[in-house]
Chains A and B, each alone.
Chain A
Amino acid sequence: MHVGPIKGFQGMTDSELLIETMDKRVQRRDERREFFKAAFGVGAFAVGGAAALSFSAKADAQTALTDADILNFALNLEYLEAQFYAYAANGTGLTAAQQTGTGTQGAVQIGTGATQARRVAFTDAAVAAYAREIAADEIAHVNFLRTALGTAAVAAPAINIAGGAGSAFAAAATAAGIAGGSTFDPYSSDDAFLLGAFIFEDVGVTAYKGASPLIQSKVFLEAAAGILAVEAYHAAIVRTTLYARGVATPALRTNADAISNARDTLDGTSDLDQGISPLTRTGATTLESNIVPLDGNGIAFSRTPGQVLNIVYLNRAAVTMGGFFPAGVNGTLRASAAN
């Protein structure tokens, strides 16, 4: 169904009309304010100096979040995912030119010695093929968001994707209570790689979904919906593979459950996460898998930026750095929620 030109705008294509609409549109102030409160109001946001000044200026402006703020938040997460998968699949990370931008650029911390970030010595051709595919997708997401943001794109902050003792991955595995978690090395085997990937994957889905109603540009909204879909496909690859391999190696399922529980503890009291172990629904007599983490309506969960940062900072308090981002993320959205 295609509707013809709109009165008063004859001669313009639909695309031009839509662009005009976006360019001229007054901000959705009320909705933005509401999110502003949700994103920032919950935390004490007790930081001084320039950050506080910046926050104050934003409050005065009453403009809250722009699409650029939201896309930049997503870009921080994509930097993290891209670096992890690129090292695991290819043994190298993003190029220097793919990491520049506004804010404080940091280095990717790959660690040293036997457990440093490196190409996984895959033994399962399917898992290796998945890793290469996901790495290429995440690198493409970084490039896409950087292009969409242009000069507004934030730089890649410091990112810790090392394996082994003292690494963010080990801290996450320890928080989850996984056996041997304090030395967890996601590059050490096919299974370890899958569990490392599991730490991130569903989080990206919930982050994009939570941001979806805040994006003002319909063009960016549809693009974000397309990235959300891709993250959900990725999460399904990882969860399905862990589930299937869990038939022979039950610890894979219970470890994934433990990571899910850790995420759920970090992000507050609401239940926004599910493991993969099979369950029997009330009234049913047969097992079903739990590849897809959904609410009772069959709908995926949402996380606010603050909740997402709780997970990647590995801290349930309101902080501005930690875990996989030792110096915090760049951009407007940088404080985790107080849970």
Chain B
Amino acid sequence: MKDQQTVLEIIEKTQARRTERRAFMRAAAGATAMVGGLSLLAACGNDDDDTPTPTPTPTPTPTATSASVDVQVLNFALQLEYLEAQFYSYAAFGVGLPAASLTGIGNAGSVQTGTGAGFPRAVDFSGDPVIGQYAREIAYDEIAHVNFLRTALGSAAAAQPAINISGDTAGAFTAAARAAGVVGATATFDPYSSPNNFLLGAYIFEDVGVTAYKGASPLITNATFLEAAAGILAAEAYHAGLVRTIIYNRGITMASLITSAQQISDARDSLDGTSDLDQGVGGTNIGVLATGVSNIVPTDNNAIAFSRTPQQVLNIVYLNRASVTSGGFFPAGVNGSFTASGAN
């Protein structure tokens, strides 16, 4: 028997593999609550079959097509990239994205700005120049992601919605930090006030982007978009790895950083439902040369990164574990098809 056929048989036909797949599928579907009819469409959509495959009619979204699924997913990603790009751009350069990079379908909004402490502004990295170099690199990357997605989507691109990246008393960063216990219930958290606060502010977002892109990966039908999304996923994981590595390294002598990161992870985990999809950086035996094990990479037991559904991602950026359509970093909600957070 030909090698290929042998392998194919093993993969496609044996009962053992099938059983294993079922178990795996249940785990995957259970963890990500895959989008039923849409995911089935996604699975069918790319088959270069010689004969047309009857397409099951999905309900209750009979008009959904593979193309629109991709548009929906990429536009959702674009909403997150607007948020990240604006935060890093202000922190690194003191200005946000140009107006021409923010137009599109839906309700256009702006970044809430002001003057003085708490409002978006350039972080003073003069005493910590290496962190400033990281901030500029990440800012350029996130701006590139916005531009890439807008170009890929063309006229279908969704506009930037209203964004709150403030660290004043009414700022979303303050709300996030209070919810996590990083600061007291009436204190403020200003991510622009110091390099270390900037790192914690970045930490709030970074792993979320990774889980969002991973969770969306099986929904994308177009192979070109899929590979591009995988490349953005990689970039987000590099960013997250960068931020987490610095927090761990500094945390060996400044334990509060590792504690704060753990609190932020716990808060995200509380917002996104009962499944454990988040981890801090501390690992075990922090700073012990002979036995310490870091936890830079948040993974399951198979050393595979976690997935979040769009709804779970929105729970985090809306800072609300209930099913709502706005809040937190997006005071008027996001634009596109995925607008409601999950009911957790």
Contacts and interface: CB of A to CB of B under 8 A. Distances in A.
Interface of A: 1-9, 13-19, 21-23, 25-26, 28-31, 54, 57-58, 60-61, 63-64, 66-69, 122-126, 128-130, 132-134, 136-138, 140-141, 143-144, 147-148, 150-152, 205, 208-210, 212-213, 217-219, 221-223, 225-230, 232-237, 239-241, 243-244, 247, 278, 281, 284, 286-292, 294-302, 332
A14 B36 contact: yes
Interface of B: 2-5, 7-8, 10-12, 16-18, 20-22, 24-26, 28-29, 32-40, 42-44, 46-50, 53, 56-61, 129-130, 132-134, 136-138, 140-145, 147-148, 210, 213-215, 217-218, 223-224, 226-228, 230-235, 237-242, 244-246, 248-249, 252, 283, 285-290, 292-297, 299-307, 310-311, 338, 340
Nearest to B141: A298
Q: Which 3 A-B pairs have the closest CB atoms?
A: A236-B241, A298-B144, A299-B231
Contact of B232 (A18, A227, A298): A298
B133 A68 contact: no
Say what secondary structure dominates the interface of chain B.
Answer: helix
Given A28-B48, A302-B231, A291 B43 contact: no
A298 B148 contact: yes
A29 B295 contact: no
Given A66-B4, A150-B20, A236-B242, A225 B230 contact: yes
Say what secondary structure dominates the interface of chain A.
Answer: helix
Contacts of B249: 126, 241, 244
Contact of B137 (A6, A7, A129, A290): A290
A313 B237 CA distance: 27
A134 B226 CA distance: 27
Kindly name the residue among A14, A290, A301 whose own CB sees the greatest number of chain B CB atoms within 10 A: A14
A226 B24 CA distance: 14
Kindly name the residue among A23, A223, A232 whose own CB sees the greatest number of chain B CB atoms within 10 A: A232
A6 B37 contact: yes
B283 A133 contact: yes
12 contacts: A6-B59, A29-B50, A58-B3, A58-B4, A60-B2, A129-B248, A152-B10, A222-B28, A230-B304, A232-B234, A300-B230, A300-B232
